[in-house]
Amino acid sequence: MSMPSRESSISPAAWMRANLFATPVDGAITVIMGGIIVMIAIPVIDWALLSAIWVGSDGSQCRVEGAGACWPFVTAKFNQFIFGRFPDEEQWRVISVFVLGGGAIAWLAWPNAPAKARIAVFLLMAFPFLAALLLAGGVLGLAPVETNLWGGMLITLVVAFVGIVASLPLGVLLALGRQSELPIVRLVCVGFIEFWRAVPLVIFLFMASNMLPLFFPAGVTVDKLVRALVAVALFSSAYMAEVVRGGLQAVPKGQFEAALSLGMGYWRAMVLIVLPQALRHVLPGIVNTFIGLFKDTSLVYVIGLFDMLGVITVNLTDPVWFSAQTAATGYVFVAFIFWIFCFAMSRYSVRLEENLGQSRGANSYASLR
């Protein structure tokens, strides 16, 4: 798949002949596809740009016949999309959490950044507590903010981050348990993994909101957000376990045996020898699980948490902005945000895969010499 610009040696006409009109059938496909693309592109551009309403303080203009996207709806509700109902004067706390976490993640994703290990430790160990402190408040003079006021992108990112941070260690433990030689440990882990993978997340969220409160003694209440977080973390750890298992199977048994013969115990051999190789091997798969988890955060709306999707759905009943285009506009905007996050992650996963292939090649070359 070569882009015309990249191949400077051939003329555009020659490129088109080779890639678009190689045979009569090829030419026909090009013409038909061109027609289909134009048929899709024109209404989309018209809706999103040409006929779209750009300014307005209510939905009156969007209700006009033939109006396209109702963008003022997005600008008017922008604050809700990001913060939910988080109090205005406390929103700096959310922003600082975003900046801290986003900065640390960007640092880690940067190819040759220094001190990655220290940043990773900060992100996994210190940041979650710092973020919880900043967001929930109630200490150090920070006003407490109830979790039912959290919403929008904040909820999406909190659920995704907690799910990711919790699912990796849990998934590794489950995968190791599944490989264990102890029959009861193995049975428990296989049962857990298969059960969580077989049942849809919606049912677990229902469970978290309807069934989990029954599990605790009378008087003990657990925050709704926390319950959802537990469900999401356990759910994704089962999927993570299967990815990690693939990595464990790819590491030759001799590695583990060699580590044991050097006098290492089970855990030391696993942590120092087997897991680094196994996890490296399935890094793309792990990132893909993160993408799935990120998309799944949208389901928390079912138990009454208002993530970005919930914010739109709630605002659809707002009479000020009522119009035929409001829903589509809101969903397209949120889809775009989700798409940026997921696409970035999937590109990162592809790059990892390429780097992995390269380093494997380098290793085999080194061993040959």
Q: Which positions touch other proteins (CB under 8 A)? A: 1-2, 19-20, 22, 26, 29-30, 33-34, 36-37, 181-185, 188, 194-195, 197-200, 202-203, 206-207, 210-211, 213-218, 291, 295-299, 301-302, 309, 312-313, 316, 324-325, 327-328, 331-332, 334-335, 338-339, 342-343, 346
CA neighbours within 13 Å on the CB side: how many for 141? 0
Nearer to other proteins, 14 or 132 (CB): 14
Nearer to other proteins, 123 or 241 (CB): 241
Tokens encoding 184: 């009861």
Question: Looking at the DSSP assignment, which residues form a beta bridge with residue 307?
Answer: 152
Nearer to other proteins, 127 or 192 (CB): 192
Q: Shortest approach of other proteins to residue 304 CB, angstroms? A: 12
Nearer to other proteins, 35 or 87 (CB): 35
Closest CA to 326 of 76, 48, 64, 62: 62
From CA 284, how far away is CA 352, in angstroms rounded? Answer: 6
Q: Shortest approach of other proteins to residue 200 CB, angstroms? A: 4
Q: Are 196 and 167 in contact, with CB atoms under 8 Å apart?
A: no
Q: Shortest approach of other proteins to residue 164 CB, angstroms? A: 16
Q: Shortest approach of other proteins to residue 5 CB, angstroms? A: 13
Treating both helix axes as pointing N-terminal to C-terminal, what angle do 152-179 and 224-250 enclose, rounded to 10 degrees? Answer: 40
Task: Using the CB atoms, write b or e for 266-293: b if 16+ within 10 Å.
Answer: eeebbeebbbeebbbbbbbbbbbbbbeb
Q: Shortest approach of other proteins to residue 36 CB, angstroms? A: 8
Q: How many CB atoms lie within 10 A of CB 335?
A: 12
Q: Are 230 and 213 in contact, with CB atoms under 8 Å apart?
A: no
Q: Shortest approach of other proteins to residue 228 CB, angstroms? A: 15
Amino acid found at 124:
L
Closest CA to 164 of 304, 345, 21: 345
Q: Are 329 and 47 in contact, with CB atoms under 8 Å apart?
A: no
Nearer to other proteins, 145 or 269 (CB): 269
Q: Shortest approach of other proteins to residue 197 CB, angstroms? A: 7
Nearer to other proteins, 150 or 294 (CB): 294
Q: Shortest approach of other proteins to residue 202 CB, angstroms? A: 5
Nearer to other proteins, 85 or 186 (CB): 186
Q: Shortest approach of other proteins to residue 209 CB, angstroms? A: 9
Size (the chain), residues: 369
Report residue 239: phi and psi, to 5°.
-70, -40
Per DSSP, 40 falls in state H
Nearer to other proteins, 203 or 258 (CB): 203
Tokens encoding 23: 């045979």
Q: How many CB atoms lie within 10 A of CB 330?
A: 24
Nearer to other proteins, 131 or 231 (CB): 231
Residues in Cβ contact with 342 at an 8 Å cutoff, skipping those fewer than 6 apart: 291, 294, 295
